[in-house]
């Protein structure tokens, strides 16, 4: 495992994302293509790395912390700790591997188990450039994503097809979720304030009536 620093700060301009998927689907190639704009055609199941990149989302600069997960059992504790604090997830399978597509359900179950509320998830099908080796159709991927309320794209890490779009979209979903939470919390505070003032007025009226009696 490559060492990485787990920063537990609550910086509003930082955003934690997690890339999950079966071994060999191209998680690292996708992440490095987004971070560094070059294609790395390698697979090492022992590597788990944290990548960082600044992005402009809705006229605001965010630092994206992206965990590229590995499948080693000894990394589960660190990975699960990260997942619990993560705001958005990218689930990856390969169009050339039916088994990697079938594994997506287990990653969804893991997220559901570790997260207490619904979070933005986008499912992507990598290696769309290898159409002659395809085992999973576009329609199958789209139907599965729709069934679980996920966004869906086919991508090619090799040719950087839709790579930036994936990370920009998941980041935008996370920003929207933050704004929705702020609005909901503000609405709750406003309602509580109204109820408090109403109860206070009601109590004052009751005391006034009692004094008159």
Is 171 annotated in a binding site? The answer is no
Q: Is 22 known to sit in a ligand binding site?
A: yes
Note whether 66 and 17 are within 8 A (CB). Answer: yes
Does 69 appear as a known binding residue?
yes
27 is in an annotated binding site: yes
Encoded tokens for 114 = 């570790």
Task: State yes or no: 128 annotated in a binding site.
Answer: yes
- With a CB cutoff of 8 Å and minimum separation 6, the contacts of 59 are none
- CB of 87 closer than 8 Å to CB of 171: no
Has 24 been labeled as part of a binding site?
Answer: yes
CA-closest candidate to residue 17, choices 63, 67, 77, 73:
67
21 is in an annotated binding site: yes
Strands 49-57 and 121-126: unpaired
Is 141 one of the annotated binding-site residues?
A: no
Cα dihedral across residues 1, 50, 68, 11: positive or negative: positive
Report whether 136 belongs to an annotated binding site. no
Q: Is 25 annotated as a binding residue?
A: yes
Query: Is 23 annotated to bind ligand?
Result: yes
Q: What angle do CA 2, 10, 51 make, to 5 degrees?
A: 25
- Positions at the binding site: 21-28, 68-72, 126-129
- Positions at the binding site for GTP: 21-28, 68-72, 126-129
């Amino acid at each position: 495992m490559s060492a990485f620093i787990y920063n537990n700060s609550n910086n509003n301009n930082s955003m934690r994302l997690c890339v999950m998927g079966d071994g060999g689907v191209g998680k690292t190639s996708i992440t490095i293509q987004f971070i560094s704009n070059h294609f790395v055609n390698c697979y090492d199941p022992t590597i788990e790395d944290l990548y960082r990149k600044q992005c402009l989302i809705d006229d605001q600069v965010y630092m994206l912390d992206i965990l590229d997960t590995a499948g080693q059992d000894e990394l589960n504790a660190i990975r699960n700790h990260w997942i619990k604090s993560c705001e958005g997830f990218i689930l990856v399978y390969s169009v050339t591997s039916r088994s990697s597509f079938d594994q997506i359900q287990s990653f969804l179950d893991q997220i559901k188990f570790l997260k207490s509320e619904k979070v933005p998830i986008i499912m992507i099908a990598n290696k769309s450039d290898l159409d002659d080796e395809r085992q999973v159709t576009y329609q199958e991927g789209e139907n599965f994503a729709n069934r679980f309320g996920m966004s869906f794209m086919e991508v090619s890490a090799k040719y950087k097809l839709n790579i930036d779009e994936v990370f920009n979209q998941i980041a935008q979903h996370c920003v929207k979720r933050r704004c929705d939470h702020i609005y909901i919390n503000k609405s709750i505070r406003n309602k509580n304030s109204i109820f408090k003032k109403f109860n206070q007025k009601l109590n004052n009226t009751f005391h006034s009536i009692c004094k008159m009696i």
